[in-house]
Amino acid sequence: MAGKRERKAPEVNAGSMADIAFLLLIFFLVTTTIVVDKGVLVKLPPWSNEPPPEMKLNSRNVYSVLVNANNELLVRGEPKAIKDLRADTKEFIMNPSKKENMAEKPTKAIISLKNDRGTAYKTYLEVYNELKAAYNELRDEEARKRHGKPFEFLDRALQKEIRADIPLVISEAEPTNFGEEN
Amino acid sequence: MGKFTKKRGKSNPEVSTASLPDIIFMLLFFFMVVTVLRDADEKVKQNVPSATELTKLEKKSLVNYLRIGKPLPKYQAVYGTKPQLQLGDKIASMEDIPLFIENHRAKVNEAEIPKVISSLKIDGDVTMGIVTDVKTKLRKSGQLKVNYSAKPRAD
């Protein structure tokens, strides 16, 4: 070194480092999923001060689900586990074997959900989710049968048609007040 | 490299670009740290249940958030341990719901008011009593589109 002409030490080209960092920055910007809010969509019935009109419902069309303060399920008068609820609801709505005690047809089926003020929200949502899942699965099956495609890939009009044939009717009654609230 | 050898002796001082990546890294880290994903400070415990039939909340501007849960430990001295309702970033009572909904509607384009969704972020351990009261209030305020916030079930 000393004898030779003065030369700079060889430098590693750091110019492209910026590009690499930019690449990383963009990669993170693109892949970062800002927590998307998801949830079970529900449409509440409008409020009215008048008591709901008395409706004569054929009891065979009503699927009553009761959840008590101990988070136990009573479905049409019989205890049931949540994991069986979906299949049971589906059978009730479609009534494939035309039983006397199940819905005449899907459009007449009504799900009646009643809980207690002491019911855990977790259980409530689980039950609601199962009931909704039963309907969604039925619509999907119907879509595949009619059009050979899953429900979500159908056109709006066709979706509407199936929705009209299998309408989601979950009626929620005023909760009972036996259990302890936290 | 030729640039460096072209001029003999004292060359023009060049601005070093070697620190550019560092600056950009600094920016990257700054943004990674500073980005706040939550719009409001949570004052109540929020461990939402899991579900399968989920719908995505599309337009953030059309969503208002109602949180229910037990106050976090640091707020329990003030608000107690019973489940509380949180509107925006403060603990509120049932009576504040209509005003809260109304305030949000005022910010929304008039044509889009029917599309407003209330996202209920409710802790799984809360009992239905307070939830029912909130639902009743929402119905009375004409806010019928409700989304029970839930996380996807891992199975």
A126–B120 CB contact, under 8 Å: no
CA distances in angstroms from A174 to A171, B86, B128, listed in the order given: 10, 24, 11
Evaluate whether residue A86 is within a structural domain.
yes
Interchain contact A34–B (C-beta under 8 A)? yes
By the 8 A CB rule, do B78 and A58 touch?
no
B128–A121 CB contact, under 8 Å: yes
Q: What percent of chain A has pLDDT over 70?
A: 92
pLDDT at B32: 72
Interchain contact B85–A (C-beta under 8 A)? no
B125–A118 CB contact, under 8 Å: no
- The answer to ipTM > 0.95 is no
What distance in Å separates residue A100's CA from the closest CA in chain B? 30
The class level of CATH for B50-152 reads: alpha beta
Task: Single out the residue of B44, B37, B35 nearest to residue B66, CA to CA.
Answer: B44
Evaluate whether residue A31 is within a structural domain.
no
Ranges of each domain in chain B: 50-152
Instruction: Report d(CA B146, CA B123) in Å as an integer.
Output: 16
A vs B: CB pairs below 8 A? 152
Q: Into how many domains does chain A fold?
A: 1
A21–B28 CB contact, under 8 Å: yes
By the 8 A CB rule, do B130 and B83 touch?
yes
Better-predicted residue by pLDDT, A28 or B128:
B128
Backbone angles phi, psi at B25, to 5 degrees: -60, -40
Tell me the pLDDT band of B34, cut-offs 50, 70 and 90.
low
Q: What percent of chain B has pLDDT over 90?
A: 39
pLDDT at B40: 67
Interchain contact A178–B (C-beta under 8 A)? no
Interchain contact A118–B (C-beta under 8 A)? yes
Interval A42-91: pLDDT, tens: 998 888 888 777 777 788 888 999 998 888 999 998 999 999 999 999 99
Lowest mean pLDDT among A22-36, A48-62, A132-146, B73-87: A22-36
Instruction: Report d(CA B100, CA B91) in Å as an integer.
Output: 12
Evaluate whether residue A165 is within a structural domain.
yes
Query: Does pLDDT of B75 surpass 80?
Result: yes
Query: Does pLDDT of A129 surpass 90?
Result: yes
DSSP-derived pairing of the beta strands A78-80 and A73-75? antiparallel
Interval B111-146: pLDDT, tens: 999 999 999 999 999 999 999 999 999 999 999 999
Contacts of B25 in chain A (CB under 8 A): 21
Lowest mean pLDDT among A7-21, A71-85, B87-101, B118-132: A7-21
Instruction: Report d(CA B98, CA A47) in Å as an integer.
Output: 13
B139–A47 CB contact, under 8 Å: yes
Residues 73-112, chain A, touching B (beta carbon < 8 A): none
| Residue A100 domain boundaries | 59-171
